[in-house]
Amino acid sequence: MNEVFLDTETTGLSFKEGHKVVEIACIETKDLIPTGKVFHKLINPKRSMPSEAFKVHGFSEEFLKDKDTFDIIADEFLNFVKDKKIIIHNAPFDLGFLDGELGLLKKEKMDRKLVIDSLEVARNKFPGTSNSLDALCKKFNIDLSRRTKHNALLDCELLREVYINLLDAKEPKFDLSNNIEAQRLNKTKDYSKTIVKISEDEIKKHKDFLKSELKKNFY
C-alpha cells in the first residue's frame, strides 16, 4: 500500500465556525520514496479571508476568487488518496475541515483507519517537547529556509523528511565530548552544523526496514 503525505491551508481554525479549505496538497510515496505523483489545488472558499489567516499563508480573497471551488476538485482528491495510507501532522485539524467539506457534498468522511497522525508519533518519541513541524525540522536539521509562509505542498515535502527521521529513530545530536578521536576530528570540521542527508543508496537499503516498521506499528 502506497502512502500519501497530506496538508491543507484554511481561512481559520474551525470548519464549524464557517471557515473553509483554501489549499490541499498531497505527495504520493511508495515505502516513503516519492513516486512523482502529486495532487495540489488552490481553492476558492467563497468567503472573505481573515487577516490572521492571510498572514499565515498569504492567500488573499482576490487571489483565490478565480480558483475552483471544493465541489469541483473533490472527486479528483478522493481518487488520489483512495486506498492509501494518509500521513498528516495534527490530523484532527485537517480531517475536521476535509470531513466538513465532504459532508456538504453528501460524501463519506475520510477513513480514519487509513490515517497516521505524525504529531502523535512525534509526541510518543519526544514527550514533553514541542513537536510542531517547525520544531521537528529543527530537531532533525531539515532546511526550513523556503518556509517563509505556510504552504501545503512544501509542508508535505518537509513532513516526509520528518517522518523518515521519526521512523528511523534518528537522534539529532550525540555527545562525543569525552571521545579523544572525536575531539581531534572536531578541530578540522564543525560537525554541529553538518546536515546529514540520506543518500539514494541508504534509502534503498532501508526500504525493507521502513516497510517492516510501517507494518509493525501502523498496519
User: What are the catalytic residues?
Assistant: 150
DSSP secondary structure letters along 141-168: T---TT-SS--HHHHHHHHHHHHHHHHH
One-letter amino acid of 27 = I
Is 61 within 8 Å of 48 (Cβ atoms)? Answer: yes
Q: How many CB atoms lie within 10 A of CB 213?
A: 16
Nearest to 164 by CA among 135, 193, 202, 108: 202
Nearest to 5 by CA among 107, 113, 103, 80: 80
Nearest to 116 by CA among 160, 148, 154: 160
One-letter amino acid of 123 = R
- How many residues are there in the chain? 219
Contacts of residue 16, defined as CB under 8 A and 6 or more positions apart, other chains included, come to 100
